[in-house]
Structure formats: structure tokens, C-alpha cells
Amino acid sequence: MKTFFMRLIVLVAVSFSSPVRGVSAEMKAAPAPLVDVIKVVPDMIVSMQYATADNFTGKALYGCNRCFLTESTARKLALAQIELKEQKLGLKVWDCYRPLSVQKIFWALVPDPRYVADPAKGSRHNRGTAVDVTLVDSRGNELPMPTRFDDFSTKAARDNMDLPVQILKNRDALENAMKKAGYIPLPTEWWHFDDSDWQSFELRDGDICRD
């Protein structure tokens, strides 16, 4: 019963915080404010890879280990966390809002739209409406997944079935929880999920940690 009311509260919050669609370009407000996700999902593990040098660029590109998203996107992440907790699992987040300036660095290194969005169009990350996540057990240990984070190969694709049974089950558990919460999985990266309402939000730049 407690879990039911928690899910109901989050669903109501998502409904009221989601932007109204169909608004003309002239009437669009400034980019929606971003929230620190740990305030919405306090039991989620935050491990922002680009706040350290442990990523494919070899450099720390963020000013802090904090995950920022639009509020409605964060509320959906809370729904996924509730769903997974019922299975004695949880989320670890690797990336959330990403400044457009960082997107340009990624594109210069990996100009492949299968894995990195062209900054001319922007990424869902640049809107604060995408997350890179993985699964953890009840003790916070990462579960086995198809590849490591930012594996730019076909091994990371969702249609890769040449994997051990348990890894396939882990991948499915993550994908099912995220889809149920209102996210769209990226076909080429098992860890990447877009908020289904991402088009309602503007591209943005600037490192919030330093603003």
C-alpha cells in the first residue's frame, strides 16, 4: 500500500510539472529550470562519469558529481526507481544534463550519430531530458551488463542477443522499468534513455555546477 501511494504521488507530480504542448514559438518561455535529481530520488546512486577523468575523453568535463534534469524528467526517474525497488534493485546514474559545449567536445572525438548527437542538432542530454543509467543490487553493486559505459560498438546495441542469459535479464529489467516510467530507450546504447517529452524542452548550455 505504501508503494502504491508513493507511485501515485510521483505520477501526480509528473502530470502537473510537464510542460503544455502545442505552444507557439513566440510564446515559449525560457528553458525550464533544472533540479538536482538527488532531491527527487534520494536513494539513487549518482556517479557522473564526466565529473571524473574515467571516461572516453580522459578528462573531467563537469564541475561536480551532481545529476541535473528537468523536474518532470526527474519525476519519471523516481517512478523507475520505485519499480526497481520492488525487485530489490535500483538505479545508478552516469550522466544527466550535459552542456552543449561538452557535446561539441564529444562530437569532435566521436563524430558518429549512432553514439554521439551532432551538436548542430543537440542531444536530449543538452535539454536535461536524458539519462545514462545502469542497475545495482540492494547493496549498491552494479549488475553485469552487456558492456561498460560508452562502449561505441555494436555490442552495446539493444538488439545484441549474443550475451549470457543473466545479462539479458538485467538489461531487460532496466529497460522495462524505464519504459514503464515514460522513457524511450536508445537502440544503440543499452544505458541511454530519453524522456518521452524531450521535444517540449529547449537546448541549453552552461555548467550548472559552476553557475
Exposure pattern of 84-122 as b/e (b: 16+ CB <10 Å)?
bbeeebbbbbbbbbbbbebbebbbeeeeeeebbbebeeb
Closest CA to 125 of 146, 105, 155, 143: 105
User: Residue type for 56, please?
Assistant: F
Q: How many other CB atoms are found less than 10 A from the CB of residue 144?
A: 13
Residue type, 53: A
CA distance 41 to 44: 6
Distance of CA 74 to the CA centre of its chain: 9
Catalytic residue chosen out of the listed positions 26, 71, 189, 202:
189
Please report which residue ranges of 51-190 form alpha helices under DSSP H: 71-85, 100-109, 165-181
What SS3 state is found at 167? helix
Q: Give φ, ψ of 177 to 5 degrees.
A: -65, -40
- Distance CA(135)–CA(175), nearest Å, equals 10
Q: Please indicate whether residue 189 is annotated as part of the active site.
A: yes
Which of the residues are catalytic?
189
